[in-house]
Amino acid sequence: MKAWSANAFPIPVVAVGAGSQPAEDEDFDYLPMPSGMDTFAPPRLPDQIDPAARATAVATLEGLLAAMRAWSFGSAGHPVVDLGGLDSTSLALINDALGQGEVSARVDGSPALRIQETVFAGIWRVIETDAAGRRLADRIEACAMPAEVAARSRAAARAALTPPPPPVGVMNAPAVLAELLHAVDKHRAGSAAHIVNLTLLPMNPADLTWLVEVLGVGPTVILSRGYGNCRITATALANTWWVQYFNSADTLILNTIEVTALPDVAPAAADDFADSIARLAEWTAALCEA
């Protein structure tokens, strides 16, 4: 596995609207969409490991492990390890040791965020870049999901909106929008998600097009490959997300809108986080002996 660079971060996600197929994105390389659930497989280490780089990588991962063990999952102050000061050889070894997991995200803005879950659920690689794509910060965060994903999406969104009159051909979208606006108004931190399943509703292309235009697009796109192939796109309305599931042929099979702080399909669960601590401890021990 090659070291990640500021200009070639492997986030295979694109913003897509309701009922649409993913468009070509020249800035990112797409990973093959899996046909079933992934199972844990340890990352592959290089055949030859520089002793100094190994010592640095082991010390970094042991520090991360200690912080994860001391932290109560879901509480404030989650573990963060700054990688900005590491040499390229040690950084490349840490990349190899952590691998790439099932969830990727990007958050546009200043700075832009590129986020990749490692093979250890709840351990995230977070890179900040400027408008020219230059890397500003590089870190590991251990948590359900880096907090800036939801926070930056919420900060860029509107608390309410006044929709324009629907054009000819729009039938059911205004009723769906009214339901969403009511759910947004009633939403409070910690409340259950309000989900509108567009797949089960009589929505024609004009309905979907108007709904996309009215809701707008926020700064965040997430791809989750853990439970099928799921693309999650923030809208410009607060706490409102397109959640779209695709089959192995990348055909849309389930199209929903969720009013929630962050859809449940994206964050890591507490049980997965605990499992990652055990697996990372074993893998760090193996790295010491490599």
- For residues 184 and 141, the answer to whether their CB atoms sit within 8 Å is no
State mean pLDDT over 210-219.
96
pLDDT over 90 (residue 250): no
- CATH number of the domain at 153-259, out of 1.10.3720.10, 3.20.20.80, 3.30.413.10, 3.30.1370.140? 3.30.1370.140
Q: Confidence band (pLDDT; 50, 70, 90) for 201?
A: very high
Residue 146: name the closest of 104, 108, 187, 110 by CA.
104
Could you tell me the residue ranges of all domains in the chain? 51-145+268-289, 153-259
pTM, two decimal places: 0.83
Q: Confidence band (pLDDT; 50, 70, 90) for 19?
A: very low
- Amino acid identity at 57: A
In CATH, the architecture of 51-145+268-289 is: 2-Layer Sandwich (3.30)
Give dist(CA 179, CA 194) in Å, integer: 10
- For residues 114 and 220, the answer to whether their CB atoms sit within 8 Å is no
Residue 12: name the closest of 138, 101, 142 by CA.
101
Place of tokens 């794509």: 133
State mean pLDDT over 133-150.
96
The pLDDT value recorded for residue 43 is 66
- 18-32, 92-106, 162-176 — which is least confidently predicted? 18-32
